[in-house]
């Protein structure tokens, strides 16, 4: 049986991406042929701007080398334009008369620059800006000539103008609109942009119409005549007044078009072929940025593969101007209207302008100029449709009033030098990231993480990396709505979907969950297995069996692995209290097992560092014998409850913080959670136990306790938010227990309480914990129930099968 | 000439897990068992910064190093792109339920 034949017309970004997606999910299904009018393999069209600006070469922007086509058995015909589609005989006919038959046809012919209908528009020296040929022509013109006029002050026009200026030409931008980028910016931001471009030496004529292009003696264009009669010299005219979807070929073959090839949500035309890219019109929109096109490509590939489950429902896009040194971001409905509200921050001297457009308590659009650090964050809020009611008063100041650590407080990507360190964990500089994005054709944060390691450890620099990505490839980066992001590359399902299915289908083992959810890999990876294991045991506490092989080594060895492969041992000290007896046992163990370092931790207990794995069982046997249990200092679990001395001794104390802390820690012992959980109890508002930066912070006051949730002292210092005030110790346990159970049931694996809270909002938590008494009691009950058989992990780890992992096998070697 | 040595019964290594073998001459060797009951043996030293690969999570034919998350191919000891580097691999097989290692 021969394979069905797939023909792709248009060897560009959307078409080839579709083929790549198809090969990923169903390799070898089709016999594939590609026709491209350009004489090049598929390249990154977006990066033509840096090529023009002299920052990159054409060689560097190729995305698929000729070898790629060969390796995938794709017949590529470059420099061959398809002239006709014969739908009856199902074949395409190229301009040189050659033919190719198809079973499925993919049309991805992109778009063409709109050429103004003015006299002289066909003169030599008048071009659009679309491909390598146009770019070469501009570079050549810059070498030989002086005056350039760019018609159109949109993204493309400004990038062309900037490039030509950098190549030494004298550049004037003629723009019909009242300000620059009027389709991306409001007036204030447009004017600020104009000012900074003028500082770079560009000239602008706004609200100006072009009337004719005048021929010079050489036959080449020599000037542009404007409406009103003014004439400006021009040896090169670049038309950047818009693009037109390239659908003439499809239309001529009788496929229904309406300002683009009309497709449905499965990317199919009226004839059930498939079309993707700038040439299509989906629900009346033809997109001109790659991000939505890549989403379309994924859906089209899914249908070509015969799976038929993907739907494309349209995209919200964001844009960024790729002019070095200018920080600009806009997304969604940035103009607003009668039914919207605006929050504006305007500091013309500081060069910062931000406008957020809000409708029905949701962010629907925004413009940022000068400080775009929070662009990706706002964009995410917009895509998620999150209710911003509770963060409205500080929304305009961005995500972090308190800065992240690890990259020297930098928050403006464009202002950073190439040598500046972006990722403090892995030592990755801005220059290295930009280089990787360009050289390897990266389009998403995940790809950048994978190739550069930036943002792949603690993640505090992810926002910066996103900005660098956005300013390097323009608006190409679109985050998925966060509740739809796949858990990892092994699946298309999100955390929420996985949790839901585990609950509804009563799944209790990892193989069962993977097979029900059609996992793409046989046994997952180091990202999804621990997550699945946690979801199973937290959803079905006494039913699902824990899988040690799906836990990170720390939770398997009940100790924290160190950089040299040794481990640390942290016995629990309830509420930070200890006894001479415990201290003696710790001292004995430290001596007996030759522990090199003994340290007091910030969680108020003692850390024995540098223990060999094979010593762990015996050492713990000694500590257990003295009545001590694991401190879980290694787990995604309850860590410590830190306490101050409180009313037991302190002259200021209003509540017995030590007693309260011990009660809480005993209640939560052996609790696993999406991420680590730390508590603190202070005896009065002086708050010596630092309860303000804990997942649950308890502060004693004269009339009872104040409860705070979602604090974090880590990468980003996050101050805990006030939840409520309660009177008794029992209420402290019930309210904090209920909140932690809510987090355990809804948090995504590796999501701290502060991030969970940011995602769902404090109002939501209040509605569950404060306003619904029965619900609260039910959460509290489920917490206690799932912890009813809590025990020290060492209770079972010394059993014959379990202990094997600690014992190396000796093997004799012959000389 | 390699010399096959019995190590342990296959069931002493958990599926998707490992055991450490310590030759008298030193240099720990990690023996892995995957879900398909295939066994692999690598020098227990990650090409990145020497992390103990035996302590990693095993998936497919790979192990993820516990220290900084490099993925290492079990059958060739090579780091998965974009990381580069490799560690020594050893011949290993299962004979009548007994894991045999060539050292
Ligand atoms: C200078 C520049 C800068 C840009 N910057 C950005 C940016 O920062 N961010 C962003 O998201 N987007 C940007 N874009 C837009 C982005 O490049 C396009 O959205 C994307 O390339 C469209 O992909 P496509 O496959 O639909 O079309 P294309 O990539 O144009 O591919 C279509 C291909 O089909 C070929 N073709 C057409 N007709 C035929 C035929 N009959 N037979 C054979 N071949 C044919 C064409 O020659 C072309 O090679 C930029 C574009 C340009 C020109
Ligand atoms: C994301 C950043 C952080 C990481 C990855 C991290 C990691 C760790 C690790 C690995 C340990 C165990 C050390 C050992 O015993 O081997 C530990 C312990 C501890 N960390 Fe952090 N930590 C982070 C942030 C913080 C912050 C910001 C604080 C304080 C505000 C903090 C307070 C503590 C305390 C108090 C302990 C001791 C815990 C105990 O006694 O059980 N950590 N941390
Ligand atoms: S928080 Fe208040 S009660 Fe606790 S030690 Fe400090 S001053 Fe004393
Ligand atoms: S030592 Fe293995 S990843 Fe660093």
A808:B66 CB<8 A: no
Q: Annotate A558-617 with DSSP letters as a single string.
A: TSEE-TTS-EEE-B--GGG---HHHHHHHHHHHHHTT-SEEEE-TTSSEEEEEE-GGGHH
The answer to whether A508 contacts chain B (CB < 8 Å) is no
- Separation CA A70–CA A651 (nearest Å): 80
* H helix runs in A150-237, sequence order: 155-166, 187-199
What are the chain B neighbours of A451 within 8 Å (beta carbons)?
82
Predicted pLDDT at A121: 94
Q: Are A811 and B103 a contacting pair at CB < 8 A?
A: yes
A217 part of contact set with chain B, CB < 8 Å: no
Contact yes or no for A332/A316 (Cβ under 8 A): yes
CATH superfamily of A401-485: BFD-like [2Fe-2S]-binding domain (1.10.10.1100)
pLDDT of residue A534 exceeding 70: yes
Distance CA A566, CA A457 (A): 21
Ligand 2 contacts (CB < 6 A) are A 458, 560, 568, 570, 601-603, 605, 607, 631, 633, 639-640, 693, 713-715
* Region of residue A230 (phi > 0: left; psi between -120 and 50: alpha; otherwise: beta): beta
Q: For residue A453, which ligand has an atom nearest its CA?
A: 4
Chain A hits for B82, CB-CB cut-off 8 Å, are 450-451
Q: In this complex, which of B7, B15, B23 lies closest to A813 when CB atoms are compared? A: B23
- What residues contact A122, with CB distance under 8 A and at least 6 apart? none
Q: Which two tokens stand for residue A468?
A: 């660098």
CA distance A645 to A688: 9
For a mutational test of ligand 1's pocket, the pick from A278, A287, A293, A472, i.e. the residue with the most ligand atoms closer than 8 A to its C-beta, is A278
Distance (Å) from the alpha carbon of B97 to chain A's nearest alpha carbon: 17
Ligand 2 atom closest to A693 (CA): 30
Percent over 90 (pLDDT), chain B: 83
Quickly tell me which residue has 């997550």 as its tokens. A531
By CA distance, what is A451's nearest residue in B?
B82
Nearest to A811 among B21, B56, B58 (CB): B21
C-alpha closest to that of A212 among A225, A201, A222: A225
Question: Given a cut of 70, is residue A253 above it in pLDDT?
Answer: yes
Closest CA of chain B from A557, distance in Å: 9
Cα separation values, A652 from A60, A683, A685, A698, Å: 68, 8, 9, 16
Residue A276 has pLDDT above 60, yes or no: yes
A655 lines ligand 3 (CB under 6 A): no
Confidence at residue B76, expressed as pLDDT on a 0 to 100 scale: 94
Q: Which residues in B lie closer than 8 A to residue A563 (C-beta atoms)?
A: 49, 67
Query: Tokens 């997606």 correspond to what residue?
Result: A21
Q: Which CATH class is domain A552-630+792-815?
A: alpha beta
Q: Does B51 touch chain A (CB under 8 A)?
A: yes
Give mean pLDDT, residues A292-296.
Answer: 86
Bridge partners of A8, per DSSP, are A34, A106
Q: Which of B9, B31, B34, B59 to mutate to test binding with chain A, by most A CBs within 10 Å of its CB?
A: B59
1.10.150.20, 3.30.413.10, 3.40.50.300, 3.40.1190.20: CATH of A638-786: 3.30.413.10
A446 C-alpha vs ligand 3 centroid, how far in Å? 45
**In the prediction, which pLDDT does A457 show?**
65
Q: Is B76 on the interface with A (CB under 8 A)?
A: no
pLDDT band at A401 (very low <50, low <70, confident <90, very high): very low
Q: How far is CA B99 from CA A316, A809, B32, B76, B94, in A?
A: 56, 12, 11, 19, 4
Helix or strand (DSSP H, E) at B19: strand B17-23
> Using CA atoms, how far apart are residues A771 and A777, in angstroms rounded to an integer?
11
pLDDT score of A403: 43
Report percent pLDDT > 90 for chain A.
64
**Confidence check: pLDDT of B97 > 90:** yes
pLDDT over 50 at A815, yes or no: no
Chain A residues in contact with B51 (beta carbon < 8 A): 565
Write the residue with the smallest CA distance to atom 3 of ligand 4.
B68
Average pLDDT over residues A180-200: 89
The DSSP call for residue A358 is E
List, as one string, the DSSP characters of A456-489.
Answer: SSS-TTHHHHHHHHHHHHGGG--PPPGGGSBSST
Statement: residue A402 has pLDDT above 70? no
Q: Atom 24 of ligand 1 has which residue's CA nearest to it? A: A110
Contacts of A92 (CB under 8 A, 6+ apart): A7, A9, A35, A82, A84, A85, A86, A99, A100, A102, A105
For residues A320 and A189, which has the higher predicted lDDT (pLDDT)?
A189
Whose tokens are 């990690």? That residue is: B30
- The conformational region for residue A737 under phi > 0 = left, psi -120 to 50 = alpha, else beta, is alpha
Smallest Cβ–Cβ distance between A549 and the set B14, B66, B67 belongs to B14
Q: What is the C-alpha separation between A352 and A459, in angstroms, rounded?
A: 26
CATH number of A5-111+245-304: 3.50.50.60
**Of ligand 4's atoms, which has the minimum distance to the CA of residue B65?**
2
DSSP helix, strand, coil percent of chain B (3-state; round to 5): 5, 45, 50
CATH number of B4-102: 2.102.10.10
Q: How many CB pairs under 8 A join A and B?
A: 94
Look at A809 and B21 and tell me if their CB atoms are within 8 Å.
yes
pLDDT in tens, A10-24: 999 999 999 998 998
Query: Cβ contact (<8 Å) for A812 and B24?
Result: yes
Give the pair of three-digit tokens for residue A640: 């410590």
Per-residue model confidence as pLDDT tens digits over A408-430:
455 566 667 787 777 777 778 88
Residues 418-477 of A with CB under 8 A from B: 450-451, 456-457
Retrieve residue A168's tokens.
């030494």
Q: How far apart are the first and last CA of chain A?
A: 59
Show Cβ contacts of residue B20 under 8 Å, excluding neighbours closer than 6 positions. A808, A809, B28, B29, B30, B31, B44, B52, B54
How many angstroms is it from A637 CA to the middle of ligand 3? 27
Testing ligand 2's pocket by substitution, the residue of A576, A597, A633 carrying the most ligand atoms inside 8 A of its CB is A633
Question: Do residues A113 and A140 make contact, with C-beta atoms less than 8 angstroms apart?
Answer: no
Mutate to test the interface with B, among A423, A523, A558 (most CBs of B within 10 A): A523
The SS3 assignment for A758 reads: helix
Confidence category of residue A562, pLDDT binned at 50, 70, 90:
very high
Across the interface, of A457, A530, A804, the residue whose CB is closest to B19 is A804
Tell me the C-alpha distance between A104 and B52, whole Å. Answer: 51
Question: Which residue carries 């302008």 as its tokens?
Answer: A353
What value does the mean pLDDT of chain A take?
90
Q: Are strands A638-643 and B4-9 parallel, antiparallel or unpaired?
A: unpaired
- Nearest Cα residue to A135 out of A238, A207, A39, A234: A238
Coil/strand/helix, residue A718: strand
φ/ψ of A444, rounded to 5, equals -130, 160
Whether A815 contacts chain B with CB within 8 A: no
Contact B55 A550 (CB under 8 A): no
Please tell me the predicted confidence (pLDDT) of residue A802: 85
Kindly give the interhelix angle for A462-473 and A445-452, rounded to the nearest 10 degrees: 110
Locate all alpha helices (DSSP H) within A167-239, ordered by sequence.
187-199
A497 C-beta closer than 6 A to ligand 3: no
Does domain A126-241 correspond to CATH entry 3.90.1150.10? Answer: no
Which atom of ligand 1 sits closest to the CA of residue A290? 11
Element (H, E) at A204: strand A203-205
Please state whether beta strands B92-95 and B98-102 pair in parallel, antiparallel, or not at all (unpaired): antiparallel
Measured between CA atoms, how close is B71 to chain A, in angstroms?
9
pLDDT, tens digit, 9 for 90 and up, residues A118-171: 999 999 999 999 999 999 999 999 999 999 999 999 889 999 999 999 999 999
Q: Annotate A55-90 with DSSP letters as a single string.
A: SS-GGGGBSS-HHHHHHTT-EEETT--EEEEETTTT
pLDDT tops 90 at residue A810: no
Of A452-466, A568-582, B87-101, the range with the lowest mean pLDDT is: A452-466
Higher pLDDT, A438 or B10: B10
Q: Where are the alpha helices (DSSP H) in A186-264?
A: 187-199, 248-252
User: What pLDDT digit, counting tens, does each position of A521-532 carry?
Assistant: 999 999 999 999
- pLDDT tens for A99-110 read 999 999 999 999
Q: Look at residues A468, A459, A460 and name the one whose alpha carbon lies nearest to residue A408.
A: A460
Which chain A residue has the Cα nearest residue B1? A814
Peptide bond into B82 cis (omega under 30): yes
Pairing label, strands B57-59, B62-64: antiparallel
Q: What's the distance, Cα to Cα, between the start and end of chain B in Å?
A: 9
Q: State in Å: Cα A224 to ligand 1 middle.
A: 28
Q: Which of A119-123, A189-193, A267-271, A387-391 has the lowest mean pLDDT?
A: A387-391
* pTM score of the predicted model: 0.70
A565 Cβ under 8 Å from any chain B Cβ: yes
Helix (H) or strand (E) holding A502: helix A495-504
> Which amino acids bring their CB within 6 angstroms of ligand 1?
A 9-15, 35-38, 45-46, 48-49, 81-82, 108-110, 129-130, 156, 246, 249, 277-279, 288-291, 293, 322, 473-476
pLDDT at A172 over 70: yes
Q: Do A523 and B16 touch (CB under 8 A)?
A: yes
Ligand 2 centre from B85 Cα, in Å?
Answer: 31
User: Which conformational region is residue B97 in: left (phi greater than 0), alpha (psi within -120 to 50 degrees), or beta?
Assistant: left
Least confident of A229-238, A281-290, A384-393, A409-418: A409-418
Pocket mutation for ligand 3, best pick of A680, A686, A692, A699 (most atoms within 8 Å of C-beta): A686
How many angstroms separate the CA atoms of B13 and B101, rounded?
A: 14
Which chain A residue's Cα is nearest to B30? A808
Q: How far apart are CA A776 and CA A10, in angstroms?
A: 59
In tens, the pLDDT along A626-652 reads 999 999 999 999 999 999 999 999 999
Q: What number of residues does chain A have?
A: 815
Q: Does B7 sit within 8 Å of A451, measured CB to CB?
A: no
Task: Select the residue of B20, B58, B71 nearest A808 (Cβ to Cβ).
Answer: B20
Cβ of B8 within 8 Å of Cβ of A557? The answer is: no
């Amino acid at each position: 049986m021969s394979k069905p034949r797939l023909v792709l017309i248009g060897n560009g970004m959307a078409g080839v991406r579709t083929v790549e997606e198809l090969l990923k999910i169903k390799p070898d299904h089709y016999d594939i042929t590609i026709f491209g009018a350009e004489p090049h393999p598929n390249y990154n069209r977006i990066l033509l701007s840096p090529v023009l600006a002299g920052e990159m070469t054409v060689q560097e922007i190729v995305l698929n080398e000729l070898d790629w086509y060969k390796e995938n058995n794709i017949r590529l015909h470059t420099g061959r334009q398809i002239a006709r589609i014969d739908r009856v005989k199902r074949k395409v006919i190229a301009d040189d008369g050659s033919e190719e038959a198809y079973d499925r046809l993919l049309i991805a012919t992109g778009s063409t620059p709109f050429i103004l209908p003015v006299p002289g528009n066909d003169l030599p020296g008048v071009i659009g800006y679309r491909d390598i040929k146009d770019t070469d022509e501009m570079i050549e013109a810059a070498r030989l000539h002086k005056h350039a006029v760019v018609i159109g002050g949109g993204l493309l026009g400004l990038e062309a103008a900037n490039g030509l200026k950098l190549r030494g030409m004298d550049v004037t931008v003629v723009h019909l609109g009242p300000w620059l980028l009027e389709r991306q910016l409001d007036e204030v931001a447009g004017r600020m942009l104009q000012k900074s471009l003028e500082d770079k030496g560009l000239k602008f004529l706004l609200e100006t119409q072009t009337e004719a292009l005048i021929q010079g003696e050489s036959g080449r264009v020599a000037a542009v005549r404007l409406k009103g009669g003014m004439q400006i010299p021009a040896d090169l005219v670049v038309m950047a007044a818009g693009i037109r979807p390239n659908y003439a070929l499809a239309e001529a073959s009788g496929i229904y078009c309406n300002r683009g090839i009309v497709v449905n949500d499965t990317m199919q035309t009226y004839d059930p072929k498939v079309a993707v890219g700038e040439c299509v019109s989906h629900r009346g929109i033809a997109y001109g940025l790659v991000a939505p096109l890549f989403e379309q490509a994924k859906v089209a590939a899914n249908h070509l593969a015969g799976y038929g489950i993907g739907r494309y429902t349209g995209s919200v896009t964001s844009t960024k101007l790729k002019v070095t040194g200018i920080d600009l971001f806009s997304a969604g409905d940035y103009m607003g209207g009668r039914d919207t509200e605006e929050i504006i921050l305007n500091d013309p001297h500081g060069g910062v302008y931000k406008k957020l457009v809000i409708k029905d308590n949701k962010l629907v659009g925004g413009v940022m100029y000068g400080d775009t650090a929070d662009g990706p964050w706002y964009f995410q809020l917009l895509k998620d449709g999150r209710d911003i009611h509770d963060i409205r008063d500080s929304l305009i100041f961005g995500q972090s009033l308190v800065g992240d650590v690890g990259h020297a407080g930098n928050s403006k990507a464009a202002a950073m030098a190439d040598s500046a360190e972006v990722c403090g964990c892995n030592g990755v500089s801005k220059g290295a990231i930009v280089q990787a994005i360009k050289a390897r054709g990266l389009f998403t944060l995940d790809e950048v993480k994978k190739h550069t390691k930036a943002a792949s450890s603690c993640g505090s620099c992810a926002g910066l990396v996103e900005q660098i990505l956005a300013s390097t490839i323009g608006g190409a980066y679109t985050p998925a709505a966060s509740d739809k992001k796949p858990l990892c590359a092994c699946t298309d399902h999100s955390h929420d979907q996985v949790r839901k299915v585990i609950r509804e289908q009563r799944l209790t083992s990892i193989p069962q969950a993977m097979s029900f959810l059609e996992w793409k890999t046989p046994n997952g990876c180091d990202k999804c297995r621990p997550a699945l294991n946690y979801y199973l045991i937290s959803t079905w506490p006494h039913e699902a069996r824990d899988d040690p092989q799906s836990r990170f080594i720390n939770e398997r060895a009940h100790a924290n692995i160190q950089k040299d492969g040794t481990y640390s041992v942290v016995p629990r000290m309830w509420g930070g209290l200890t006894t001479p007896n415990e201290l003696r046992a710790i001292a004995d163990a430290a001596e007996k097992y030759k522990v090199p370092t003994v340290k007091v931790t910030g969680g108020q207990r003692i850390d024995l560092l540098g223990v060999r794995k094979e010593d762990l069982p015996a050492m713990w046997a000694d500590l257990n014998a003295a009545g001590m249990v694991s401190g879980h200092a290694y787990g995604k679990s309850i860590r410590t409850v830190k306490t101050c001395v409180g009313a037991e001794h302190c002259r200021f104390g209003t509540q017995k913080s030590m007693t309260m802390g011990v009660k809480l820690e005993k209640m939560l012992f052996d609790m696993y959670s999406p991420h680590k959980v730390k508590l603190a109890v202070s005896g009065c508002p002086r708050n010596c136990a630092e309860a303000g930066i804990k997942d649950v912070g308890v502060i004693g006051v004269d009339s009872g306790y104040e409860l705070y949730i979602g604090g974090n002292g880590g990468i980003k210092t996050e101050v805990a938010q006030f939840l409520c005030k309660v009177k008794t110790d029992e209420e402290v346990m019930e309210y904090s227990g209920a909140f932690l159970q809510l987090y355990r049931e809804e948090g995504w694996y590796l999501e701290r309480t502060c991030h969970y809270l940011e995602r769902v909002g404090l109002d939501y938590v209040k509605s569950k914990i404060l306003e619904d008494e029965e619900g609260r009691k039910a959460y509290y009950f489920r917490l206690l129930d799932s912890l009813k058989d809590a025990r020290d992990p060492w209770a079972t780890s010394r059993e014959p099968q379990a202990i094997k992992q600690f014992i190396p096998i000796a093997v004799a070697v012959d000389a | 000439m390699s010399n096959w040595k019995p190590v342990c019964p296959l069931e002493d290594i958990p599926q998707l897990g490992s055991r450490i073998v310590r030759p008298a001459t030193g240099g720990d060797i990690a023996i892995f068992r995957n879900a398909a009951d295939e066994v692999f043996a690598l020098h227990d030293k990650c090409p990145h910064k020497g992390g103990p690969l035996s302590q990693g999570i095993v998936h497919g034919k790979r192990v993820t190093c516990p220290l900084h998350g490099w993925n290492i191919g079990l059958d060739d000891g090579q780091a998965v792109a974009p990381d580069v580097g490799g560690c020594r691999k050893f011949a290993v097989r299962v004979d009548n339920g007994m894991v045999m290692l060539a050292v």
